[in-house]
Amino acid sequence: MITMSEKAVEKVNEYLKTENKEGYGLRVYVSGGGCHGFQYGMSFEEAPGDMDQVIEESGVKLFIDSQSYPLLSGATVDYVENLYGSGFAIKNPNAKSSCGCGSSFSV
C-alpha cells in the first residue's frame, strides 16, 4: 500500500484547484535513471490507465502503474518544506540508498 501525508494531500488539492484539474489524480511512478538507477516522477492525470493500481487517500486519487507499484509498496508521499526548498518527497522503505536530493534511489 502507498500512503500520503496530510500535508501532501493538502498540497495536491491546492495544486489541482489552482490548475483547474479538480477530479484528476496524482500519478506516482518510478523510471530508470538518476545517479542511483531509479528516479521518482509525478504528474496529474485525468484517469488511470488500464493496468494501474488506484489508491484513494483522503479524497486524493493516486495512480500507480504495475511496474512501479512493487518498488513503491509501503512508501509514503509527503510534502516537505525546509531550508533547501519545498516539494513532494517519497519516503520509500524499499530504497537501499538514495542521492542527496532524494529523487534517485537504488533497491
Q: Profile the chain (107 residues) by mean pLDDT over runs of 10 residues.
A: 95 95 94 75 94 94 95 93 87 73 56
Q: What is the pLDDT of residue 78?
A: 94
Q: What is the pLDDT of residue 107?
A: 64
Cα–Cα nearest to 57, from 16, 17, 14, 10: 10
> Do residues 36 and 105 touch, judged by C-beta distance below 8 A?
yes
pTM comes to 0.84
Q: Residue 16 and residue 44: Cα distance in Å, rounded? A: 8
Please, what's the b/e burial string for 63-81 (b: 16 or more CB within 10 A of its CB; e: otherwise)? bbbeebbebbeebbbbbee
Q: Residue 88 and residue 106: Cα distance in Å, rounded? A: 19
Q: What is the pLDDT of residue 103?
A: 58
Q: What is the pLDDT of residue 31?
A: 85
Q: What is the pLDDT of residue 105?
A: 58
Fold annotation for 3-106 = Hypothetical Protein Aq_1857; Chain: A; (2.60.300)
Q: What is the pLDDT of residue 93?
A: 87
Q: What is the pLDDT of residue 38?
A: 81
Q: What is the pLDDT of residue 82?
A: 85
> Do residues 27 and 46 touch, judged by C-beta distance below 8 A?
no
